[in-house]
Structure 1
Amino acid sequence: MSEAKAVFEAMLGRFDADEADDMEAVFQFDLEDDSSYHLVIDDGQCNMGEGEHDDPTVTLEMDLQILKEVLSGELDGMAAFMQGKIRADGDIMLATKLTQIFPK
């Protein structure tokens, strides 16, 4: 299993259905140093897919290390975005909820 896939598998285990209540969203992650993955949140469920989703709600581009630092709390996601370490396209406000939906 790739390191990136392991990170997304861990995210699935941390999914907080209460925080994602009533949310219908597709988070697309384009990792510069690995593959693309997407997380589909619907009806209190979260499913992972490899590759690109055809209709993401928000697309986040970064390298794997930045994703790991944001998820661990080492790096503030908004600060990383402002520093150009994360590029976002689509519903950017949704991206700010990532650490609430997948708490450490």
Structure 2
Amino acid sequence: MSDVIDMAVTALKAKMGDDSFDGVAKFVVEGEGAIMIDGTGVRAGDEEADVTLTADKETFEEILSGEMNPTSAFMSGKLSVDGDMGKAMALGSVLA
């Protein structure tokens, strides 16, 4: 597992706090790996998901740091979404 994924898991756990996510989402960081988010929390993994969000390392880091809004990233083509758009929007509000 890459250092980027390790850092992202830690950052996502902190961002989500006590909030839970109803469903299963996967963040794919191109060239680094994947992160799973579900009702049990955040972990490294690459499993089936209701929605898969894919971005390069730079875009993902900007979303995590708050420099880039996930919706703006999607609208500009820097973040792709495959699957349940409603789950993607719910995840975006949890991470905002």
Q: TM-score category by the smaller chain?
A: 0.7 to 0.9
Aligned 8 A contact 2:9 2:42 in 1: no
Q: Does 1:95 align with 2:93?
A: no
Q: Cα RMSD (Å) of the superposition? A: 2.0
Paired position in structure 2 for 1:35: 33
Structure-2 change in CA distance of 1:28 and 1:84 (3 Å): same
Q: Does 1:47 align with 2:42?
A: yes
Instruction: Say which structure is richer in helix.
Output: 2
Question: What is the TM-score normalised by the length of structure 2?
Answer: 0.80
Number of corresponding residues: 95
After superposition, the C-alpha distances for 1:7-47 in whole angstroms (9 at most, x for unaligned) are 221211222434x3xx421111111121122122x2xx413
Gaps of 5+ in 2: none
The alignment partner of 1:25 has SS state of coil
Gaps of 5+ in 1: none
> How does 1:1-104 map onto structure 2 within 5 Å?
2-18=3-19, 20=20, 23-40=21-38, 42=39, 45-50=40-45, 52-54=46-48, 56-103=49-96
